[in-house]
């Protein structure tokens, strides 16, 4: 899930090309992006995409953020991928991977893709994300909102 659509697609493509062939037990990596801004509004396109993905069996969310969105999207683990190092350093306790190192020249897309994929495997194997450690995500994701939405 991403407000930074290009970043999501670059990362997913790097993971599919370089890493996925070595992990036959992983079904796939899909970049889901949208053009409606952050997906916290109850009727937003991004949240609708997230709901459909989870209903379809997705069991891990990798959320790219450039502004430090505090979210968790329980009931599944949500890894937050920071798109810039300034924000990552400011919110390190809530960000799982610093993708901003690519822009800083301290990493490349392949190295960062491997780091993300490794973190995905660790999370799928039971390691808690920063959101889970902090207890985020229990209130912002309601798949079937009952009643009026303001």
- Give pTM, 2 decimals: 0.70
In three-state secondary structure terms, 107 is: coil
Q: Give burial (CB, 10 Å; 0-12/13-18/19+) of 146.
A: exposed
Within a domain: 17: yes
Is residue 115 in a domain? yes
pLDDT, greater one: 7 or 135 = 135
Domain hosting 64: range is 5-134
pLDDT of 1 strictly over 60: no
Question: How much is the average pLDDT of 121-130?
Answer: 93
Q: Report pLDDT for 150.
A: 52
Assess if residue 150 is contained within a domain.
Answer: no
Question: What is the average pLDDT score of the chain?
Answer: 79
Q: What pLDDT sits at residue 118?
A: 92
Alpha-carbon span 62 to 57, nearest angstrom: 15
Residue 53 lies inside a defined structural domain of this protein: yes
Query: Does 142 reside within a domain?
Result: no
| Number of domains composing the chain | 1
Higher pLDDT among residues 127 and 67, named by residue: 127
CA distance 96 to 108: 17
Tokens 């959320």 sit on residue:
63
pLDDT at 31: 73
141 part of a folded domain: no
How far are the Cα atoms of 21, 28, 30 from residue 118, in angstroms, in the given order? Answer: 14, 14, 16
* In contact, 46 and 63? CB cutoff 8 Å: no
pLDDT, one tens digit per residue, over 33-71 is 666 555 556 666 667 777 777 778 888 888 888 777 777
- Output the pLDDT for position 34: 60
Query: What H or E segment, with its residue span, contains residue 79?
Result: strand 78-82
pLDDT band at 2 (very low <50, low <70, confident <90, very high): very low
The alpha carbon of residue 117 and the mean position of all alpha carbons in its chain are separated, in whole angstroms, by: 11
């Amino acid at each position: 899930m991403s407000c930074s659509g290009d970043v999501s697609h670059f990362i997913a493509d790097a993971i599919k090309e370089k890493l996925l062939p070595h992990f036959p037990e992983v079904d796939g990596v899909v970049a889901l992006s949208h053009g409606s801004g952050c997906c916290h509004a109850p009727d937003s396109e991004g949240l609708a995409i997230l709901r459909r993905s989870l209903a379809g069996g997705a069991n891990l969310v990798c959320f790219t953020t450039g502004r430090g969105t505090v979210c968790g999207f329980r009931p599944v683990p949500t890894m937050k991928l920071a798109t810039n190092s300034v924000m990552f350093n400011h919110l390190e306790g809530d960000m799982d991977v610093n993708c901003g190192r690519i822009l800083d020249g301290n990493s490349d897309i392949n190295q960062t893709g491997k780091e993300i994929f490794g973190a995905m495997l660790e999370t799928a194997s039971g390691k808690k994300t920063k959101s889970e450690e902090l207890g985020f995500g229990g209130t912002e994701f309601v798949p079937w909102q009952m009643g009026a939405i303001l």
